Amino acid sequence: MSQSLVADTPVVDYIEPAVMVQTMISTGASKADLGVGDIFVRGMLGGALLAFATSICFLAFAQGVPTAIAGLLFPVGFIIINLTKVDLITGYFALVPLAFLHRRMSFGQLLRAWIVVWAGNLVGSVAYVYIMWAGVTMMGQVHVPVPPPPVAAAPAAAALAAPAPAPAPVVAAPDPTGIGAITIKIGLLKTIHYEQFGMAGAIAAFMKAMLCNWMVTLGVVLPYTSRSAIGKVIATFVPIYMFFAMGYEHMVVNMFIIPAAMMFGAPITQSDFWIGNELPVTLGNFAGGFLFTAAALGWTYRARTA
């Protein structure tokens, strides 16, 4: 007696890319049905969880752990985000436009989803900033030393001729974690460091943001290829670790880093934050997520299943 077709069909924990793209479209379209409150709360949780993951990496940096090793901690935040299905604007940059292009949602619904999840990400990130700052500084009683802003390397001849700058005064700070000093250092690198190069710095931030959200959106959609929790965890971990270890630019991560650096005392202005970083990084994140993940995968696989 021959076995049934069901018995002969192997059960595998892998879903083909063409089905993954269908899931991307359906997931993007589902955002049109979510209420504003739901999107906002999911966005708040996404921003706060990402900030939590970033701060644990900063703790590792403060303890002298190399970036490539400390970066292994960061994907934990994205894993929680994926498993709880809360939201980030960077993931929406891939999923929602794909649904719009396939006429599963209107342009107004697309804009609503983007605006509300962005606002939720910002509120969640800043809320975590305040809570962390309050704990680390004993409600402002601990003063974290502020290093001098980063400067571009001078030409060799000028460096020889110019006198060495006086070292910046250091204020002792009984911060046992070291998170504050690391946050200030990285916040300055993400703002003033780019700005001193003018348009070249803005373009560099844009390019790094494109590369970032290529990997981030893969970290969002690759879990659709697995039915198991462990498969989804691994599919999330690999691309997310790659972008963070390389130091690329993520707009929601920066909603934590830069406001936190400002609260710890870094000489960063609102213009440095929004114009020097968030503007080019937001544009780059959209370009990377939409072009490299949504458009590329959507075209090559959806075309064969339409």
CATH number at residue 84: 1.20.1080.10
Q: 166 in a domain, yes or no? A: no
Q: Of the candidates 23, 31, 34, 25, which has an alpha carbon nearest to the alpha carbon of residue 102?
A: 25
Give 19: exposed, middle or buried? Use CB within 10 Å, 0-12, 13-18, 19+.
Answer: middle
Give percent of the chain above pLDDT 90.
80
pLDDT (tens digit per residue) in 155-210: 544 444 445 554 444 444 456 678 999 999 999 999 999 999 999 999 999 999 99
Q: Measured between alpha carbons, how far is 210 from 107 in angstroms, rounded to an integer?
A: 23
Q: Which domain holds residue 83?
A: 15-151+177-302
Q: Given a cut of 70, is residue 260 above it in pLDDT? A: yes
209-212-218-219 Cα dihedral, nearest 10 degrees: -130
Q: Measured between alpha carbons, how far is 295 from 67 in angstroms, rounded to an integer?
A: 32
Q: Of the candidates 209, 232, 211, 210, which has an alpha carbon nearest to the alpha carbon of residue 222?
A: 232
At 177 the pLDDT is 78
Q: Of the candidates 106, 14, 91, 24, which has an alpha carbon nearest to the alpha carbon of residue 302?
A: 24
Q: Are 297 and 221 in contact (CB under 8 A)?
A: yes
Q: 219 in a domain, yes or no? A: yes
Helix ranges, 137-155 (H): none
Q: 212 in a domain, yes or no? A: yes
pLDDT (tens digit per residue) in 107-122: 999 999 999 999 999 9
Length of the chain: 306
What 3-state class would DSSP assign to 3? coil
Q: 90 in a domain, yes or no? A: yes
Q: 118 in a domain, yes or no? A: yes
Q: 288 in a domain, yes or no? A: yes
DSSP-assigned letters across all residues of 211-253: HHHHHHHHHHHGGGG-SSHHHHHHHHHHHHHHHHHTT---HHH
Q: 163 in a domain, yes or no? A: no
Q: Specify the number of domains making up the chain.
A: 1
Looking from the CA of 220 toward its CB, the CA atoms found within 13 Å total 29
Q: 128 in a domain, yes or no? A: yes
pLDDT (tens digit per residue) in 217-230: 999 999 999 999 99
Q: Measured between alpha carbons, how far is 101 from 298 in angstroms, rounded to an integer?
A: 10
Quick one: average pLDDT of 64-79? 95
